[in-house]
A and B are shown apart, each in its own frame.
Chain A
Amino acid sequence: AQSVTQLGSHVSVSEGALVLLRCNYSSSVPPYLFWYVQYPNQGLQLLLKYTSAATLVKGINGFEAEFKKSETSFHLTKPSAHMSDAAEYFCAVSESGNTPLVFGKGTRLSVIA
């Protein structure tokens, strides 16, 4: 069965510092992987997705993630944090068509001025 583990329920970084949000997955088949962001009192918005093409995926707002099969990881990074990046971030996996996305428990990112 597919599952996602996000290490760290809360990450705090200084403005301008590197953002690293960790995601590890478990899947019996090559997975499709997603990162979503949820700003306060809003729905989830897709940041980026991996669908077996390039292993380094670039998304919106300067975020990117790298699929590492050997480590079963799909960590999200951004070189320089901005105050507007403060939000909840969710990693998700899709194992096969017509099945729902399975989400991790989320990581809340705080950005300190």
Chain B
Amino acid sequence: GAGVSQSPSNKVTEKGKDVELRCDPISGHTALYWYRQSLGQGLEFLIYFQGNSAPDKSGLPSDRFSAERTGGSVSTLTIQRTQQEDSAVYLCASSLDGGRGTEAFFGQGTRLTVV
């Protein structure tokens, strides 16, 4: 596609429910990243994919968070048993090959609100 697409753009969920956030990267981009953006906290790295593999899961805040990527393309971030502290904007980015100087292109994010 023309850019990184994320869905839904907004999600309101009740505490304790599971949510799935979707990211459709730019076609041909092998690297995919998930970040979480909270007010005043900048961008917190969650997980990185190279192809379908996740060499770096170090940022996932708890075992309630998981992510997968299939076909080297679409990725899904799943949050189980959501808590109010999970409320944030979840940003997905992709880059051509994940190399050091390669530009990461960001989607517009999914704003998650846990009530």
CB within 8 Å of B: which residues of A? Answer: 9, 32, 36, 41-46, 49, 51, 90, 92, 94-106
Contact = CB atoms under 8 A, between A and B. Distances in A.
A42 B9 CA distance: 11
Interface of B: 4, 31, 33, 35, 40-43, 45, 48, 50, 55-56, 59, 91, 93, 98-101, 103-109
A99 B99 CA distance: 8
B42 A97 contact: no
Contact of A32 (B45, B55, B100): B100
A103 B43 contact: yes
A99 B48 contact: yes
B55 to A, nearest CB: 7
Nearest to B59: A100
Contact of A103 (B4, B42, B108): B42
B55 A100 contact: no
A9 B100 contact: no
A42 B100 contact: no
Given A43-B91, A100-B48, A105 B100 contact: no
